[in-house]
Amino acid sequence: VIRRELAVSPGEVFDMVKVKLSKQRLEGTQVVDRVETQPEPTDVPDRKNLVVTVEERNTGNVDVGAGVSSADSILGFVELTQGNFDLFNPPWFMGAGQKFRVRAQIGAERKDFEVGFVEPWFLGRKLALTVDLYHRDLRYVSQHDFYDERRTGGRVGLSRALGSEFLIGGISYTLENIGIFNVPHDAPPTIQAEEGDRWVSKVGTSLAYDTRNSVMLPDRGQRSELRAELAGGPFGAETDFYKTEFSTHWFFKGFKKGHVLEIVGGVGFVQNYGDSDTVPLFDRWFLGGINSLRGYKYRD
């Protein structure tokens, strides 16, 4: 888990850029807290040993919490995470650097159940495999209580660096069963027409440029990402649309130690095609709330 992240190999000409990259990679695994690199002399002329010292961190966590927000109302959650998981090492399932997460969240307006798994070195290559399974009951998505939404599905994705540590490409496939229910008789006809369950089959792709100096708490660099999705196929015959999104996040050091300034922007386009007369409610964009347009109620 440690050695596979190193950008240097025995016998190479010493390269400080690669040493710094190795240190950054190790810190990005979130398996170690401290990484130090130190060249040490040897008995062989013009050769040194590069000593990499790491301090392992606590990779298993159980989190329990509760909160309240203007959109979700009151909710509580419990989450189990293991950052050094090993799917094939029972009974403790630890040691391979995989990521595993189980989360349950229940509140007055929503219920969420999620299981996530990440294998950062799939098939022995620096190719990240991501698997997500989820079930969500959402009762706050309609501002006037015209409908509730239920999502049950899964997503499989692959991502890897494309010729540079900073350029990351990804592909994914998502299969969901999405239901619009609890629609009252006085709801608008456009919402009544959406009532019921449907299968949605989506193929996605992404391209990201990421120069952040930290995955967890960056204060320098940026992450810009272009994403595209195409819904349709055998399971989504009644749900045909394509969506393109671009988002960018820039990070700067603030006015004093510990302050970080972040500039965020985004733009997107979604359009129905084929047999679909309109883009379904659950894949449209809405303004309002803390994640889009502050000062307005959620999806107002």
Task: Encode pLDDT of 149-183 as tens digits.
Answer: 999 999 999 999 998 889 999 999 999 999 999 99
| Structure confidence at residue 234 as a pLDDT band (50, 70, 90) | low
**Model pLDDT for residues 90-131, shown as the tens digit of each residue:** 998 999 999 999 999 999 999 999 999 999 999 989 999 999
81 neighbors 56 (Cβ within 8 angstroms): no
| Structure confidence at residue 300 as a pLDDT band (50, 70, 90) | confident
230 neighbors 202 (Cβ within 8 angstroms): yes
| Structure confidence at residue 29 as a pLDDT band (50, 70, 90) | confident
Q: What is the pLDDT, as a whole number, of residue 46?
A: 87
| The residue to which tokens 């799939």 are assigned | 122
Q: What is the pLDDT, as a whole number, of residue 235?
A: 60
129 neighbors 172 (Cβ within 8 angstroms): no
Fill in the amino acid letter for 93. F
Mean pLDDT over the full length of the chain: 91
Q: What is the mean pLDDT of residues 226-248?
A: 86
Q: What is the pLDDT, as a whole number, of residue 237?
A: 59
Of 120, 224, 216, give the one whose Cα is nearest residue 167.
224
Q: What is the pLDDT, as a whole number, of residue 236?
A: 55
Q: Considering the entire predicted model, what is its pTM?
A: 0.86
Q: What is the pLDDT, as a whole number, of residue 27?
A: 87
| Structure confidence at residue 229 as a pLDDT band (50, 70, 90) | very high
Tokens of 289: 């709330």
d(CA 94, CA 92): 6
